[in-house]
């Protein structure tokens, strides 16, 4: 499906906070530990699904302090009930560039970013997992 200009723009804008979110959670791992987890079949998405919702929302809110325009949109979606945003969210998540996401994580965490660079298929699968959660 051909993405609209607006969808491409939103995808581009949301990739940076998503990279910050990933960096927040993998930053505690040494690169060797991250590499070992990825090669053993570990899933960040599955790990995060087990975390309390309140914790995840607190992390998202903390990260979004640097992105007030995105935060205001998410706050509006939360108030309206998030179900209507799932379809649009799926299209946005699926449109994320793996290369751009890895690059942005690498800016914050060069060593962990190098691991992700070697495991782009894993990053792609994780993005797909997030998309499956939204369906």
Q: State the Cα–Cα distance between residues 41 and 75, nearest whole angstrom.
A: 34
Give this prediction's pTM: 0.83
The pLDDT assigned to 95 comes to 83
pLDDT tens over the chain, length 135 residues:
455 787 777 788 889 999 999 999 999 999 999 999 999 999 999 999 999 989 988 998 899 999 888 888 777 776 776 555 555 566 678 789 999 999 999 999 999 999 999 999 999 999 988 866 554
Average pLDDT along the chain: 86
CA angle 68, 74, 75 (to 5 degrees): 85
pLDDT of residue 1: 44
Which CA distances in Å does 104 have to 15, 39, 51, 134?
Answer: 8, 22, 24, 23
Could you tell me which of 52, 58, 50 has the C-alpha nearest to residue 24? 58
Q: 104-116 pLDDT, tens per residue?
A: 999 999 999 999 9
């Amino acid at each position: 499906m051909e993405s609209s200009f607006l969808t491409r723009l939103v995808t581009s804008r949301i990739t940076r906070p998503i990279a910050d979110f990933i960096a927040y959670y993998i930053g505690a791992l040494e690169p060797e530990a991250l590499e070992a987890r990825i090669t053993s079949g570990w899933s960040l998405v599955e790990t995060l699904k087990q975390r309390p919702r309140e914790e995840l929302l607190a992390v998202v809110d903390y990260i979004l302090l640097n992105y007030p325009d995105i935060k205001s949109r998410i706050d509006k979606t939360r108030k309206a009930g998030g179900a209507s945003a799932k379809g649009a969210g799926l299209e946005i998540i699926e449109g994320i560039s793996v290369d751009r996401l890895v690059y942005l994580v690498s800016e914050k965490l060069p060593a962990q970013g190098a691991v992700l660079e070697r495991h782009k298929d894993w990053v792609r699968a994780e993005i797909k997992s997030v998309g499956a959660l939204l369906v």
